[in-house]
Amino acid sequence: MKTSPFVHDRMPVILNPDTWEAWIDPDNNAQEALQLIPKNRGADLVAYRVGTAVLKNTAQGSELIEPLAE
């Protein structure tokens, strides 16, 4: 299965659960918040292509996350 580190230009940030509160703390500035992002973020994630049904905001079901056949 082909993988890519790029998912989307609005790819979500991946944080460790123990940093969630600090991430949303309004007293932290942007520089402090950036330090909370792990350096190897996403290293354990796997990306794969899925069908275009995920583009519909009314779509539901586990088949939405099934990998497409290569």
As given in the structure block, the two tokens for residue 29 are 């500035």
Mind listing the pLDDT tens digit for each residue in 11-33? Answer: 778 888 999 999 999 999 999 99
Q: Does 2 reside within a domain?
A: no
Q: Please check whether residue 10 lies inside any domain of the structure.
A: no
Which residue is associated with the tokens 């944080």? 15
DSSP state of 69: P
23, two tokens: 């991430």
pLDDT higher than threshold 70 for residue 42: no
pTM of the model: 0.52
The predicted structure's pLDDT at residue 14: 84
Q: Which residue did the predictor score with more confidence, 56 or 11?
A: 56
- Is position 25 within any domain? yes
Distance of alpha carbon 29 from its chain centroid, rounded?
A: 22
What is the chain's Cα-based Rg?
16
The rounded distance, in Å, linking the Cα atoms of 5 and 31 is: 23
pLDDT tier at 6 (50, 70, 90 boundaries)? low
Provide the domain limits for residue 46: 17-65
- Structural domains in the chain (count): 1
In a domain, 8, yes or no: no
The reply to whether 61 falls in a domain is yes
Does residue 12 sit within a domain? Answer: no
Q: Name the token pair of 44.
A: 């354990």
Q: Could you tell me if residue 57 is inside a domain?
A: yes
